[in-house]
Chains A and B, each alone.
Chain A
Amino acid sequence: MKEINKTFFEEITPKKHLLDVNLKELWNYKDLLFLFVRRDFVSVYKQTILGPIWFFIQPIFTTIIFTVIFGKLAEIPTDGLPQVLFYMSGITCWNYFSECLNKTSNVFILNAPIFGKVYFPRLILPISIIISNLFKFGIQFLLFIAFLIYFYYNGFTIQPSIYMLVLPLLILLMAGLGLGFGILISSLTTKYRDLQFLVLFGVQLFMYATPIVYPLSLAKEKLGEYSWIALANPMTSVIEAMKFAFLGQGDFNWMYLGYSFGVMIILLAISTIIFNKVEQTFMDTV
């Protein structure tokens, strides 16, 4: 018989501390995290003929539609950048953020059957969503780079700069904000589903509050003293920095990025507290 391992001693009590995230436990389940990521990635395009090519089709079509509607019909300026690249950069980033948010926002409800039957650190699932979407983002980002190179060598005025190195920070911001909003909403919707309806169209509307189909410079010009509204959106600085780094036009501002970072930290802290509280008993109310 094996010696009883003292390190596994555990006590289950009704209450838990607010910010008690068991990182060691999360680390122990890293294999599960990896397998969830793999599952998400593999299962989506099973039994399709085009398979992962679908990852390309969505941004390409969205870019085409945006170019036709906002570029050609509405004639919204794009800071002198080629419209295709302008929209594609925004769409690629926005897709990542909104997928993270959407998918994590119903993580409790969708996975209730698993959560109800077995315990593993609940945070594993939202984190796996962030990571599997990161792969998708990576693929779409490569597509964007391919277009960028094509336009660059065809003499369009784009100036990629050294600021490209800031990309990991931008990804961190997008992931953090998406995760933060997502798990906040998922925690709040276990009992009362009202917020879910808000998320459905809220994310779509949120996109128009972010400089994706228009440049921030235009918003500043037209909105005047109200332009702080656009800047209050933590995603604004991310998208603008992205455009500046890769296309050479945009509003790159360390202060704005710092603000977004601050928002992300606070959001993650709050949502972790709520998530921790909810995860203990959400099975009874979901």
Chain B
Amino acid sequence: MSWMIKLEDVSKMYRLGLISSATLQDDLKRIWYNLRGKEDPFLKIGEENKRDTDGGNYVWALKDINFEVNQGDILGIIGKNGAGKSTLLKLLSKVTKPTTGTIKTRGRIASLLEVGTGFHPELTGRENIFLNGAILGMKKREIKSKFDEIVDFSGCERYIDTPVKRYSSGMYVRLAFAVAAHLEPEILVVDEVLAVGDAEFQKKAIGKMKNVSQGQGRTVLFVSHNMTSIMELCDKSLLLNNGKIQNLGETHEIINEYLSLNRAEKNTPINEIKNRSGNGYITFDSMEMLNENNKNISSIICGQKIKFKLGLIVNKNLDYKKIHISIKFVDNKDSSIFHLSNSVSNGKEFKIMKETSSFSVICEIDRFPLNIGNYNYHLFCSDLENIFDEINFAGEIKVESGNFFNSGNLPSSKLSPYLIDNKWYILN
């Protein structure tokens, strides 16, 4: 299949700081260089877009972006805040021009960087459908023929002749998305617009987008921070980091890579993690994983016997009668997978004496039940009154392929993140 969008060495530079007379100086310099036929002197000094480092006044929001999207593809674009996602969409939707490079497109592009662009609060829903549709590039005739469908999709029939300023924010969004969803461009560019609206509507919207690409062969570019929507919608994804393409590939892998980016701290030893809460009477100092021979391991093989050894330091010497310690495992989307705690599993808390300055606890699992993948864990330590220490995203553990079922087979991680011991029989 042939490409619908092709980017060649696309870069975009932004200037930081305020626009003032100092900017004028730069501008004059630029004009002066231009007049003499030289290259823009400021194009050279751009830096990588890192928010936390100091540097000059110019940064590359995007640098040397090259990729193609084929017809009928839904490409997810993910990356941290400031990675250049929105800039990329702006370039694609012609809102602004690239500083260098070329973007080639084969087809009309409709962009949905925001729902309800150009909605006029004083106009009624009906009037706004036409206005918004036209702004997005539809002909009046097209809108007219789809009007009923749009109204139906939005579920705002009753309010269609009321000014949209009286709408609830949910209704507003539904109406706006309904218009956009009925566009018929060859290429649809969608920014995080689904974050609004209730669950039912989000589902409807995702279904609509899927339908648009699969049923009608359109190309969709979709930006979201919601990994569930990306996973559900996109087969391929693009990961941006600091204005550059980090990777392009299967959504599943890209999301994992993104999440590991997210955890730049993943290899920080626990005693060096700063981002923790609690009163600090007792703090986590280390976490080790031991196999059945009590050897340190760096990743877990699914189904293996594993011990988590947590080292704790007592910073305030008291008699602690009821220490509760827990480890919570979470998946890519930070939803809890399982929660291990001494007070639940043992039925009682730990006790330590006043003179203890440090201690270790061990949590043992006979057959580790998670499928292949990367998981994060949170650590928590408290007693009945106080939270001593709480660390979110304390670290990452990697689970590798293993022989959980003694059959040599594993279900796909997507299908079954858990592994549950089970047996099958046939009855005649």
Contacts and interface: CB of A to CB of B under 8 A. Distances in A.
Contacts of A115: 95
Contacts of A120: 135, 137
Contacts of A42: 122-123, 127
B131 to A, nearest CB: 5
A117 interface: yes
A39 interface: yes
A35 interface: yes
Given A12-B105, A35-B130, A42-B123, A4 B95 contact: no
A192 interface: yes
A9 B106 contact: yes
Interface string B106-118: 1111010110011
Nearest to B111: A118
Contact of A285 (B19, B71, B104, B107): B19
A35 B134 CA distance: 8
Interface stretch (B86-94, B265-273, B291-299, B386-394): B86-94
A141 to B, nearest CB: 26
Contact of B90 (A14, A36, A283): A283
Contacts of A5: 106-107, 186
A20 interface: no
A49 to B, nearest CB: 15
A11 B5 CA distance: 10
A161 interface: no
Contact of B122 (A32, A46, A114, A118): A46
A118 B24 contact: no
Given A43-B122, A118-B111, A191-B23, A12 B94 contact: yes
B95 A117 contact: yes
Contact of B107 (A4, A31, A192): A4
B418 to A, nearest CB: 39
A162 interface: no
Q: Interface extent on B, as a size class?
A: 35 or more
Interface in B9-48: 14-15, 19, 23-24, 27
A32 B136 CA distance: 9
B49 to A, nearest CB: 14
B95 to A, nearest CB: 6
A202 to B, nearest CB: 21
A154 interface: no
A12 B108 contact: no
B163 A117 contact: no
Nearest to B89: A117
B24 A192 contact: yes
Contact of B91 (A6, A10, A12, A38): A12
Given A8-B107, A13-B102, A192-B19, A119 B118 contact: no
A104 B93 CA distance: 24
Nearest to B139: A31
B120 interface: yes
- A6, A31, A114, A120 interface centre (most CB from chain B within 10 Å): A31
Interface in A99-133: 113-120
Taking each of B14, B19, B23, which has the highest tally of chain A beta carbons within 10 Å of its own beta carbon? B19
A116 B101 CA distance: 21
B103 A12 contact: yes
Contact of B95 (A34, A46, A116, A192): A116
A47 interface: yes
A115 B118 CA distance: 9
A58 interface: no
B123 A1 contact: no
Contact of A8 (B71, B72, B106, B117): B106
A281 interface: yes
A31 B140 contact: yes
Nearest to A1: B217
Contacts of B123: 39, 42-43, 46
A2 interface: yes
Given A9-B104, A120-B137, A14 B131 contact: no
A208 to B, nearest CB: 32
A39 B121 CA distance: 11
A43 B120 contact: yes
B300 interface: no
A56 B106 CA distance: 50
B346 to A, nearest CB: 56
A214 B54 CA distance: 62
A272 B114 CA distance: 29
A265 B99 CA distance: 32
A280 interface: yes
B403 interface: no
Contacts of B114: 117
Interface string A249-286: 00000000000000000000000000000001101110
A42 B99 CA distance: 40
Interface string A1-37: 1101110111111100000000000000101101110
Contacts of B163: 46
Interface of B: 2, 4, 14-15, 19, 23-24, 27, 71-72, 90-91, 93-109, 111, 113-114, 117-118, 120, 122-123, 127, 130-131, 134-140, 163, 186, 216-217
Given A13-B102, A46-B163, A191-B19, 15 more contacts: A4-B186, A8-B105, A11-B102, A12-B102, A13-B97, A14-B98, A31-B134, A38-B127, A39-B131, A42-B123, A43-B122, A116-B113, A119-B93, A119-B95, A283-B96
Interface of A: 1-2, 4-6, 8-14, 29, 31-32, 34-36, 38-39, 42-43, 46-47, 113-120, 191-192, 280-281, 283-285
Give 7 nearest A-B pairs by CB, closest first.
Answer: A1-B217, A119-B94, A32-B134, A12-B103, A31-B140, A280-B97, A43-B122
29 contacts: A2-B186, A2-B216, A4-B4, A4-B71, A5-B106, A6-B106, A8-B105, A8-B106, A12-B97, A13-B101, A14-B97, A14-B98, A14-B99, A14-B101, A29-B134, A35-B140, A39-B120, A39-B131, A42-B122, A46-B122, A114-B135, A115-B95, A117-B95, A117-B111, A118-B113, A118-B136, A191-B23, A283-B95, A285-B19
